[in-house]
Structure 1
Amino acid sequence: MSGSPTIASLFAQRVVIGVGDMAVSNNASTVLSTYALGSCIGVIAYDPGAKCGGILHLMLPEASVSPQKAITQPAMFADTGLPLFFKALIGLKAERGRLKLFIAGGASVIAGQDPFKIGERNIRATMDFINTHALRVVQSDTGGSFNRTVHLELSTGDVRLVTPNGKSQLALG
C-alpha cells in the first residue's frame, strides 16, 4: 500500500547532533540529524562499503579561542573536531578512500556586516582540512544568509537538506 510505513521505518532511531557535537554509527536503522546550521558547519560523511557514517556540527574554526572548552567539547572547533570525527569513522571500519562527504552551513546569519566572518572562516578551516587529507566532497551547500538542517539515513547514505527555500536529496551511498 502506497504511503504505508516500512518495518524498518517503524523501528528507526533518530540521533540529533547538537551544536559543537558529533555522532557516528554503523546501525542501518539510524537517522542522524542536525538542525539550524547557520554559521556553523555540518560535515556529513558516509562510507558505502562499511555502511557507516556520521555528522559533525562544528561551531568555530580554531580551538585557540577557548582551549579549556576544546578539552571538554573538541567537536565544537574545526581544528580539534575534524580529526576526532574522522578517527571515530575509521574506528567503525570506514576507509578514507571510500568516504563521501557533504558540507553544509557557513552562512552569514548576522544582519548587516559580520565583522567576525565566522561562517566564512568555518568554511575555510573545514575545506583546508579536507584538502590537506585528500578527502572527497561530493557536494556542498555553504555560504549565503540562511540556515540549513541535514538528515543522514545510514541504511542508504541518503542525505536530505532542508532550507527555508525547500528540501533537496543527495545520495552518498
Structure 2
Amino acid sequence: IPVLFKQSYQLGASKKNAIVKIAGGSQIMDENGVFNIGKRNHLAVRKIFWKNNVVIAAEHVGGNVNRTVRLEMATGRIWVKVSGFGEIEL
C-alpha cells in the first residue's frame, strides 16, 4: 500500500483528493475464525491508512462471502459483487 501511494503521488496524485474504498477481508477458508486472517488484514490496512492520515470513504469487508470488485476508470465508481447478495456500489 505505501508503494502504491508513493508511486501515485509521483504521478501527480494528491492525498487530499484521494478517495479510498476497500473490500475483502472474508473468512472464506477459516469459517470458525481460528486464524482471523481476513480480520487481521482489514485491521492492518486501516492502521496503514490511519498512520498516513488517509480517510477510508467506504468499505465492504468481513463475513464469509466471496467478492468481485469492478472499477469504472472514467468515473472512479466502484461496485462490489457479493456472492448471494448481488452487486452494490461503494
TM-score (norm 1): 0.49
Does 1:126 pair with 2:52?
no
In the TM superposition, residue 99 of structure 1 has moved relative to its aligned partner by 0.2
Does 1:88 pair with 2:7?
yes
Runs of 4+ in 1 over 6 A off after TM superposition: none
| Structure ranking higher in strand proportion | 1
What CA distance in whole angstroms lies between the structure 1 residues aligned with 2:43 and 2:6?
A: 21
What CA distance in whole angstroms lies between the structure 2 residues aligned with 1:153 and 1:117?
A: 31
Does 1:139 pair with 2:58?
yes
TM-score (norm 2): 0.90
The structure having more radius of gyration, on CA atoms, is: 1
RMSD after superposition: 1.3
Q: Which residue of 2 aligns with 1:169?
A: 89
In the TM superposition, residue 111 of structure 1 has moved relative to its aligned partner by 5.1
Does 1:104 pair with 2:23?
yes
What CA distance in whole angstroms lies between the structure 1 residues aligned with 2:67 and 2:10?
A: 28
Q: Which residue of 2 aligns with 1:78?
A: none
What CA distance in whole angstroms lies between the structure 1 residues aligned with 2:9 and 2:73?
A: 16
Aligned length: 89
In the TM superposition, residue 92 of structure 1 has moved relative to its aligned partner by 2.0
**% identity of equivalent residues:** 30
Contact 2:22 2:61 survives alignment (8 Å) = yes
